[in-house]
Amino acid sequence: MLRGCAVDGAATRLVPTSEDDLPLLAGWFADPGFVEHWGGAPLSREEVAAKYLGRRRPEVESFLVLAQGEPVGYAQYWYAGAAEGGLDLVLIAGARGRGLGPDAARALMNHVCGTLEWQRVTVDPAATNVRAVRAWEKAGFRRVPSEGEALLLEYRPTGGS
């Protein structure tokens, strides 16, 4: 598994998080607007350090999303099996609505499907987060049946189901 490498999109660059990013991430994850659809509750500095810096678990890779060299969001991918897993992405308010979310999502999809050879990628945005659902769909994800009221979208590089 390749770890610790930057991932480039057309308008974004995703760089692995490090201890140096703690002040920035702690500020973001303490902001109710940033976490509105990401757990819903602000996080303490200690929770952010444990969850979102560097290699928090072998199956999760965490990134800062950069646009024109400036940090604009957080993204991660996580393994759910040998050739599949999920993505999560959140942007600061000022970066939303500019196409950066779909660009960062496509960059991560290219990485996990190309470099890591995943055959299935899933995301589970809140159904009420219409902007995020639209961004994932613009990036190539399609809705699939799921249990309960949860919304599940998937991407398969081969186009299969």
Q: What is the pLDDT of residue 146?
A: 83
pTM of the predicted protein model: 0.90
Answer whether residue 1 shows pLDDT above 80: no
Q: Give the span between the Cα atoms of 30 and 159, in whole angstroms.
A: 38
Q: Give the span between the Cα atoms of 142 and 41, in whole angstroms.
A: 28
pLDDT digits (tens, 9 = 90+) for 30-61: 999 999 888 889 999 999 988 888 555 667 89
Answer whether residue 157 shows pLDDT above 70: yes
How does 115-137 read in b/e, with b if 16+ C-beta sit within 10 Å? ebebebbbbebeeebeebbebbe
Mean pLDDT of 73-100: 94
For the chain, the average pLDDT equals: 90
CATH of domain 7-155: 3.40.630.30
Q: What is the pLDDT of residue 20?
A: 93
**Main-chain dihedrals φ then ψ at residue 16, nearest 5 degrees:** -55, 140
Quote the percentage of the chain above a pLDDT of 70.
93
